[in-house]
Amino acid sequence: MSSKDKPRKGEHGPLPQRRSRTFFKGDGWYFMTREHIDVGPFSSQELAEIGVQDYAGFSMDADRAHDDAAEIVHDESGL
């Protein structure tokens, strides 16, 4: 089962249709972020897929760091 076939956090019921974020354009392989930014070129689709995973991991880490910082500020304010 690929990661496209697994439910994501908070998903319940039938899975929505998913497609690969990688695509070939002129000078190499790219992936598109949720913000609709093309990242690449990569020399192979495999490397572009690894780039997707790296980017997703970085994004999740950044979201967690932001949430942690917001929690610290909230705690220090006494609210």
How do residues 22-56 score in pLDDT, each as one tens digit?
Answer: 999 999 999 999 889 999 999 999 999 999 999 98
**pLDDT the model gives residue 79:** 55
Whether 72 is in a domain gets the answer yes
Give the global pTM: 0.58
CA distance 52 to 33: 8
Whether 24 is in a domain gets the answer yes
Whether 12 is in a domain gets the answer no
> Which of residues 10 and 67 earns the better pLDDT score?
10
Whether 71 is in a domain gets the answer yes
Whether 8 is in a domain gets the answer no
CA distance 17 to 56: 19
For the stretch 57-77, pLDDT in tens is 887 777 676 565 555 555 555
**pLDDT the model gives residue 75:** 54
Whether 14 is in a domain gets the answer no
Provide the β-strand partners of residue 29. Answer: 24, 42
Residue found by looking up tokens 């354009």 in the block: 25
Question: 53 lies in which domain range?
Answer: 20-77
The two three-digit tokens of residue 9, written as one number: 């956090």
Domain count, the chain: 1
